């Protein structure tokens, strides 16, 4: 058996473990910064339903091939990463990082490398330059991560900025000028371009505008609008990712909604799954190759920060019981295995985490373990990898449900529609219907030309309010408007602003006042393509339209379930809502709804 060589690097940090973990445990980012090669992963299904992962790459004069062993970790504490080589000078390479508090507000880091040689050349490398070279590189990266954790630098690690030819620089300047003139720039496109040219490739593989907004401390809608306009002008490309609901990896990527299938297969999890606009269809962005070309491949397939929702991932041999130190915050968790099998959802409160039992194709919980420990038991006859993941959805995902309710998306990408006859479920959308009271009399009184101009200007007025409140006009029907919002609170704020601003609109159009009827409702529906436009269909739409018909003008009529939304209730606290119950066309039973009268709205605004 080949001799195993081991070296541990010890680092002292002024920052605590939780501040350092996101950088040091981001194995893909760390490997890229360390100069390790990008590679492709081949997933090979096994007879027992599991998968093995094989990779090939070239490093200097060596052709490398290895099996990627799924990384093990406990969030914020440690990870272990093994590669077993079949080609190249090494036979095994294992890296383990452990972070622990130092008792003085900082942290101690222990980075251990274990390696064995496959041949004489590998032995010579391990005996001479390997560990000293790695220690120098990794220690420099650890210092960069510490500076980032202390907020002394914007990114954890340095990367050489992309070089541009004079022609590409001119092209970029022209693109930025067009974005600046579009109204969707919001003083962000130059910042995006500078970041694109200096960021690591792992940052650019999937650009998420909500993540940029959080990083730059700017409004999410504004960052999203800038990215959408950047696609139109050639700075970015957009992609629809169909995410696996188990591992949340993008197992299928397309450039247009009409290319999105109803479902996909995840070879990693060995499951088939359906698309869901709210949960697993995400819009991401990628640099246009004409500005910066990103090579395909991986720097690291597995790793704690590749799936930050996974808090614990540990391997158990057949029949093994294993206990690891870990403290998980209270919250909703899902217990499952990396391999195909069952899962269990639990609500963890303060105290000990329950024992996890893997038995056959099921995952269940047993008695509580000791405080500060995770105990898992593998009762099967094969190796299993336990995963404990937070059930909170990734906060930076720009879901299809969300982006399709943004006005900028509908304005810029009206061609992004579903295939004819295709439909997809939307778990919740909030709809606003408006109409003009007495529009027929208006046309008779002032004539078609004047009335038409007034109606068009009223559409522009509504569009401005709706867009500012993160909504989108889906369509206009005569003098009526149908608008959609991802967040019910945004819809209610929009309705209040519309009715609160009508008087100002009328003052700027002296001589002819308009009165707007308005209804709101939220609920599930299906997204479809109608008249070459992404539209909505279902009883939720019918209810919103009927509530608008109950409006008398100048008021707001909203459904009972919308009024019950906690965020909506908080917004409506200053207002008096009048409950009403009435039979509505198309609904078998009488419907309860609430009305904010013009007097109520006026009194609240004065108060």
* Band of pLDDT at residue 82, cut at 50, 70 and 90: very high
Beta carbons within 8 Å of 280's beta carbon, 6+ residues apart: 242, 243, 244, 245, 248, 273
Give yes or no for residue 114 having a pLDDT over 70.
yes
What is the model's pLDDT at position 295?
79
Query: According to the 3-state scheme, what is the secondary structure of 404-424?
Result: CCCHHHHHHCCCCCCCCCCEE
Which candidate, 337, 342, 367, places its Cα nearest to that of 355? Answer: 367
Give yes or no for residue 603 having a pLDDT over 70.
no
Q: Over the stretch 287-296, which tens digit does the pLDDT of each residue have?
A: 999 999 887 7
Give yes or no for residue 390 having a pLDDT over 60.
yes
Which candidate, 435, 488, 497, places its Cα nearest to that of 466? Answer: 497
What is the model's pLDDT at position 438?
82
Give yes or no for residue 439 having a pLDDT over 80.
no
49 contacts 75 by C-beta, under 8 angstroms: no
Only one residue has tokens 């222990």, namely 110
What's the rounded Cα separation, in Å, for the pair 458 and 478?
12
Give yes or no for residue 442 having a pLDDT over 80.
no
Which candidate, 191, 174, 187, places its Cα nearest to that of 234? Answer: 174
Largest CA distance in the chain: 97
What is the model's pLDDT at position 395?
67
Phi/psi of residue 544, nearest 5 degrees = -60, -40
H helix runs in 79-208, sequence order: 120-127, 130-149, 166-182, 189-198, 201-204
* Band of pLDDT at residue 1, cut at 50, 70 and 90: low
167 contacts 210 by C-beta, under 8 angstroms: no
CA 338 to chain centre: 21
Identity of the highest mean pLDDT range in 159-173, 370-384, 480-494: 480-494
The more confident residue out of 125 and 47 is 125
For the residues 372-391, what does the mean pLDDT come to?
92
Give yes or no for residue 241 having a pLDDT over 80.
yes
For the residues 117-126, what does the mean pLDDT come to?
94
How does the average pLDDT of the chain come out, rounded?
91
Task: Tally the C-alpha atoms within 13 A of residue 562's C-alpha that lie toward its C-beta.
Answer: 36
Query: CA-CA-CA-CA torsion for 538, 541, 543, 544, nearest 10 degrees?
Result: 170
The more confident residue out of 421 and 500 is 500
What is the model's pLDDT at position 403?
93
Helix/strand/coil for 162: coil
What is the model's pLDDT at position 117?
96
85 contacts 98 by C-beta, under 8 angstroms: no
Q: Over the stretch 179-209, which tens digit does the pLDDT of each residue have?
A: 999 999 999 999 999 999 999 888 898 999 9
User: What's the token pair of residue 509?
Assistant: 């159009």
What is the model's pLDDT at position 453?
87
* Band of pLDDT at residue 393, cut at 50, 70 and 90: low
Beta carbons within 8 Å of 317's beta carbon, 6+ residues apart: 378, 383
The CATH architecture to which 4-149 belongs is 2-Layer Sandwich (3.30)
What's the rounded Cα separation, in Å, for the pair 519 and 544?
6
Domains of the chain by residue range: 4-149, 166-198+206-287, 310-390, 414-606
Least confident range of 156-160, 176-180, 273-277, 601-605: 601-605
Give the CATH number of domain 414-606; options: 3.30.43.10, 3.30.1490.20, 3.30.70.1230, 3.40.50.360: 3.30.70.1230
Give yes or no for residue 448 having a pLDDT over 80.
no
What is the model's pLDDT at position 271?
77
Q: How far apart are the first and last CA of the chain?
A: 83
Helix/strand/coil for 539: helix
Strands 236-243 and 62-74: unpaired
What is the model's pLDDT at position 193?
96
H helix runs in 413-469, sequence order: 439-446, 448-468
Q: Where are the beta strands (DSSP E) in 218-270?
A: 236-243, 250-254, 263-266
* Buried residues in 417-434 as b, exposed as e (16+ CB within 10 A): bbeeebbbebeebbbbbb
Share of the chain above pLDDT 70, in %: 98
Give yes or no for residue 598 having a pLDDT over 80.
yes
What is the model's pLDDT at position 105?
94
Only one residue has tokens 């960052």, namely 223
Which candidate, 260, 223, 264, places its Cα nearest to that of 239? Answer: 260
User: What's the token pair of residue 451?
Assistant: 């009335």
User: What's the token pair of residue 339?
Assistant: 């391999």
What is the model's pLDDT at position 15?
96
User: What's the token pair of residue 373?
Assistant: 């420990």
466 contacts 518 by C-beta, under 8 angstroms: no
What is the pTM for the complete model shown? 0.84
Identity of the highest mean pLDDT range in 218-227, 298-307, 500-509: 218-227
What's the rounded Cα separation, in Å, for the pair 64 and 74?
29
Give yes or no for residue 70 having a pLDDT over 80.
yes
What is the model's pLDDT at position 604?
55
What is the model's pLDDT at position 13?
96
Which class for 221: exposed (0-12), middle (13-18), buried (19 or more C-beta within 10 A)? buried
Least confident range of 33-37, 271-275, 442-446, 450-454: 442-446
Which class for 327: exposed (0-12), middle (13-18), buried (19 or more C-beta within 10 A)? middle
* Band of pLDDT at residue 161, cut at 50, 70 and 90: confident
What is the model's pLDDT at position 46?
82
């Amino acid at each position: 058996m080949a001799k195993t060589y081991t070296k541990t690097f010890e680092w002292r940090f002024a920052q605590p473990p939780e501040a350092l973990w996101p950088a040091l445990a981001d194995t893909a980012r760390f490997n890229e910064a360390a100069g390790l090669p990008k590679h492709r992963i081949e997933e090979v299904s096994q007879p027992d339903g599991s998968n093995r992962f094989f990779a090939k790459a070239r490093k200097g004069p060596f052709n490398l091939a290895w099996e990627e062993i799924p990384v093990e970790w406990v969030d914020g504490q440690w990870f272990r990463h093994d590669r077993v080589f079949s080609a190249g000078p090494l036979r095994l390479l294992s890296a383990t990082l452990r972070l622990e508090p130092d008792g003085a507000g900082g942290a101690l880091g222990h980075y251990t490398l274990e390696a064995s040689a496959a041949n004489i050349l590998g032995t010579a490398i391990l005996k001479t330059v390997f560990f000293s070279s790695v220690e120098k590189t990794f220690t420099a990266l650890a210092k960069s991560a510490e500076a980032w954790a202390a907020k002394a630098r914007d990114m954890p690690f340095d990367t050489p900025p992309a070089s541009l030819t004079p022609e590409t620089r001119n092209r970029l300047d022209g693109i930025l000028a067009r974005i600046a003139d579009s109204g969707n720039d919001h003083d962000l496109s130059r910042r995006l371009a500078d970041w694109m040219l200096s960021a690591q490739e792992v940052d650019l593989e999937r650009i998420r505008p909500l993540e940029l907004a959080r990083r730059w401390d700017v409004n999410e809608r504004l960052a999203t609008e800038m990215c959408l306009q950047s696609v139109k002008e050639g700075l970015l490309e957009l992609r629809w990712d169909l995410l696996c609901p188990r591992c949340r990896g993008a197992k299928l990527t397309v450039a247009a909604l009409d290319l999105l299938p109803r479902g996909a297969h995840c070879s990693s999890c060995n499951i088939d799954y359906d698309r869901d606009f709210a949960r697993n269809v995400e819009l991401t962005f990628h640099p246009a190759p004409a500005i910066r070309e990103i090579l395909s491949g991986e720097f690291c397939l597995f790793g704690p920060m590749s799936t930050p929702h996974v808090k614990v991932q540990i391997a158990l041999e057949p029949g093994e019981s294993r206990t690891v130190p870990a403290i998980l915050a209270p919250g909703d968790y899902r217990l499952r295995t990396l391999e195909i099998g069952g899962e269990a959802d639990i609500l963890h409160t303060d105290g000990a985490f329950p024992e996890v039992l893997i038995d056959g194709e099921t995952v269940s919980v047993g008695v509580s373990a000791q405080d500060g420990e995770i105990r898992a038991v593998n009762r099967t006859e094969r190796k299993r990898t336990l995963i404990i993941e937070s059930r909170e959805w990734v906060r930076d995902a720009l879901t299809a449900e969300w982006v399709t309710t943004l006005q900028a998306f509908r304005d810029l990408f009206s061609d992004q529609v579903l295939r004819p006859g295709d439909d997809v479920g939307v778990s919740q959308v909030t709809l606003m219907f408006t109409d003009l009271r007495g529009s027929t009399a208006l046309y008779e009184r002032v004539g078609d030309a004047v009335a038409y101009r007034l109606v068009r200007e009223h559409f522009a007025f509504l569009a401005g309010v709706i867009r500012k409140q993160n909504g989108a006009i889906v369509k206009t029907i005569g003098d009526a408007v149908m608008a959609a919002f991802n967040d019910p609170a945004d819809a209610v704020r929009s309705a209040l602003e519309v009715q609160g601003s009508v008087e100002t609109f009328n003052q700027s159009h002296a001589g002819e006042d308009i009165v707007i009827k308005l209804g709101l409702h939220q609920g599930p529906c299906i997204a479809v393509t109608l008249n070459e436009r992404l539209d909505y269909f279902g009883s939720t739409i019918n209810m919103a339209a009927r509530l608008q018909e109950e409006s008398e003008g100048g008021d707001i009529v909203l459904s009972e379930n919308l009024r019950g939304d906690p965020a909506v209730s908080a917004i409506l606290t200053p207002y008096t809502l009048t409950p009403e119950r009435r039979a509505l066309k198309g609904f078998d039973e009488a419907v309860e709804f609430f009305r904010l009268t013009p007097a109520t709205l006026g009194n609240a605004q004065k108060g």
